Amino acid sequence: MSELTIIKVGTGVLTNSNDGTLDLASLVHLVSAIAGQVTTGHRCIFVSSGAVGAGVSSLGFTEYPQDMVTRQACAAIGQAKLMQTYSSLFANFDITIAQVLLIAADMATQKRAGYIYNTLHRLLEEPRILPIINENDSVAIKELRFGDNDMLAVRLAKLIGAKRVILLTSVDGLLHPETKELIPEVSDIDRAFAHVRGDKGRFSMGGMASKLKAIKFAVESGIETHIAHGRYPERIADIMAGKGISTRFAPASELH
């Protein structure tokens, strides 16, 4: 099989910032870019946030609810909306989606992790099927969570043997705190934490600090990782070709 890329997209890319509803134009753009990679023979797994964000408007909220039960109810509504949208959009490219919902306990033992590995590898044998992964927010209480989908994506990458992870967010990559210029390459993940700001939107769960924590796990596991702008998903093709606009975090295996 060809090398595997995990593409993770955050809630801030998928939803409108003013009300948390799904941003259909952004989804169309994103799906087209991912479908292009699948069509050209690249193996991809798509980790998609957005379930809670997609569900909040259905219950009349203008931001994330604070209590866990209401948030889980939003996820149950939003996950169905999200997958229905993906199914319809990817069908335009003759791609069938396969939904896999996980909680941290699913990777807690070798036996359970093996079930995930076997299922995903079987799906990846089919050239026109795209696995879409999300944390099972409707049942994942704090003790059962990965933390966020950045960590889910990199842990999945290690389990499944992915070559790279691309984290799509609302910025071009890691920015220098003074010049605001994009840092194209990072070889020292610990020094990168100095560049972190605490930004996160009303409908997003994570920030740059959580991304760097996940990236540290990835690069120490030998996985090339990128932060890129999810509103410009056409850049994915260039990133996968070793070019493109992103911050690339070199895997530890390159540094020795």
Task: Find out whether 210 is annotated in a ligand binding site.
Answer: no
Q: Which of 11-25, 106-120, 145-159, 185-199 has the lowest mean pLDDT?
A: 185-199
Please tell me the CATH code under which domain 4-254 is placed. 3.40.1160.10
Task: For residue 113, give the 3-state DSSP assignment.
Answer: helix
Q: Provide the pLDDT for residue 197.
A: 56
Query: In one letter, which amino acid is 133?
Result: I
**Which of residues 69 and 157 earns the better pLDDT score?**
157
Confidence of residue 203 (pLDDT cuts 50, 70, 90): very low
Contact (Cβ atoms closer than 8 angstroms) between residue 245 and residue 235: yes
Q: Provide the pLDDT for residue 133.
A: 96
Handedness of CA 120, 125, 126, 129 (dihedral sign): positive
Q: Which residue has the tokens 């996160």?
A: 200
Q: How many CB atoms lie within 10 A of CB 146?
A: 20
Q: Provide the pLDDT for residue 195.
A: 61
Q: Provide the pLDDT for residue 206.
A: 47
Tell me the CA distances in angstroms from 237 to 140, 162, 196, 233, one per residue in order: 33, 17, 27, 8
Q: Provide the pLDDT for residue 196.
A: 66
Mean pLDDT, range 197-211, rounded to an integer: 58
Q: Provide the pLDDT for residue 142.
A: 57
Task: Find out whether 16 is annotated in a ligand binding site.
Answer: no
pLDDT, tens digit, 9 for 90 and up, residues 139-170: 765 544 566 889 999 999 999 999 999 999 99
Give the CA angle between residues 75, 80, 86 to the nearest 5°: 120
Confidence of residue 176 (pLDDT cuts 50, 70, 90): confident
Q: Which of 54-63, 95-104, 149-158 has the lowest mean pLDDT?
A: 54-63
Query: In one letter, which amino acid is 54?
Result: A
Q: Provide the pLDDT for residue 169.
A: 93
Task: Find out whether 23 is annotated in a ligand binding site.
Answer: no
**Which of residues 229 and 62 earns the better pLDDT score?**
229
- Is the per-residue pLDDT at 83 higher than 70? yes
Q: Provide the pLDDT for residue 68.
A: 86
Confidence of residue 194 (pLDDT cuts 50, 70, 90): low
Boundaries of every domain in the chain: 4-254
Q: Which residue has the tokens 């009300």?
A: 19
- Is the per-residue pLDDT at 109 higher than 50? yes
Per DSSP, which regions of 24-163 are E strands? 43-48, 96-102, 129-135
Mean pLDDT of the chain: 88
- Is the per-residue pLDDT at 44 higher than 90? yes
Give the CA angle between residues 119, 42, 84 to the nearest 5°: 60
Helix (H) or strand (E) holding 53: helix 51-56
Helix/strand/coil percentages in the chain, nearest 5: 45, 20, 35
Q: Starting at the earlier edge strand, list the strands of the sheet with 4-9.
A: 96-102, 129-135, 43-48, 4-9, 164-169, 224-229, 247-249, 185-186
Among 225, 241, 253, residue whose Cα is nearest residue 6: 225
Confidence of residue 179 (pLDDT cuts 50, 70, 90): confident
Contact (Cβ atoms closer than 8 angstroms) between residue 77 and residue 37: no
Contact (Cβ atoms closer than 8 angstroms) between residue 26 and residue 13: yes
Confidence of residue 256 (pLDDT cuts 50, 70, 90): low
Tell me the CA distances in angstroms from 183 to 216, 217, 227, one per residue in order: 16, 20, 10
Residue 73 in tokens = 């109810």
Task: Find out whether 118 is annotated in a ligand binding site.
Answer: no
DSSP string of 119-143, one letter each residue: HHHHHHTSTTEEEEEEE-TTT--GG
- Cα radius of gyration rounded to whole Å, the chain: 17
- Is the per-residue pLDDT at 116 higher than 60? yes
What is the pTM assigned to this prediction?
A: 0.92
